[in-house]
Chains A and B, each alone.
Chain A
Amino acid sequence: MNRDPSPFRTASTASTATSPTPKYANLTASTNLRYSLTRKSIYDRHLNRTKTSELSKSAFAFLFGEMVQYAQKKVYGVQDLEKKLNLHGYAVGQRFLELLLWRDGRTAKRETRILGILQFISHQLYRAIFQKQADTLEKVRENEDEYMISDNDPVVNTYISVPKEMSQLNCGAFIAGIIEAVLDGHCFPAKVTAHTAPNELWPGRTVFLIKFEPEVLEREALRVGS
Chain B
Amino acid sequence: MNVSGWFEAVASCSSATTNSRSQALSLHPAASHRENLTSSSFKPPTPRPGHLPNMVVYAVLILNKAGGLIYQRDFNPGLQKLSSNDYLILAGTFHGVHAITSQISPTNETSSSGLEVLESENFVMRCFQTLTGTKFLIFAEPRQQNLDVVVRRVYELYADYVMKNPFYQIEMPIRSEGFDRHLNSYIKPHQ
Contact = CB atoms under 8 A, between A and B. Distances in A.
Contacts of B166: 64-66, 68-69, 72, 160, 171
A39 B160 CA distance: 37
Most chain B CB atoms below 10 A, which of A69, A160, A171: A160
Q: How large is the interface on A (under 10, 10 to 19, 20 to 34, 35 or more residues)?
A: 10 to 19
B44 to A, nearest CB: 29
A121 to B, nearest CB: 26
A65 B181 contact: no
Closest 10 CB pairs of A and B: A159-B164, A65-B166, A68-B166, A161-B176, A161-B178, A161-B177, A61-B164, A69-B166, A163-B167, A161-B165
A61 B168 CA distance: 13
A58 interface: yes
B161 interface: yes
A221 interface: no
Nearest to B179: A161
A185 interface: no
B175 interface: yes
A163 B178 CA distance: 11
A203 B176 CA distance: 13
A61 to B, nearest CB: 4
A162 interface: yes
Contacts of A162: 167, 177
Contacts of A64: 166
A64 B165 CA distance: 10
A24 interface: no
A159 B175 contact: no
Interface in B134-191: 160-161, 164-167, 175-179, 181
Nearest to A66: B166
Nearest to B176: A161
Given A58-B164, A66-B166, A160 B178 contact: yes
A159 B167 contact: no
B99 to A, nearest CB: 31
Interface in A39-73: 58, 61-62, 64-66, 68-69, 72
A62 B160 CA distance: 10
Contact of A65 (B165, B175, B177, B179): B165
B122 to A, nearest CB: 34
A166 interface: yes
Nearest to A60: B164
A58 B160 CA distance: 8
A1 B181 CA distance: 62
A166 B160 CA distance: 21
B160 A161 contact: no
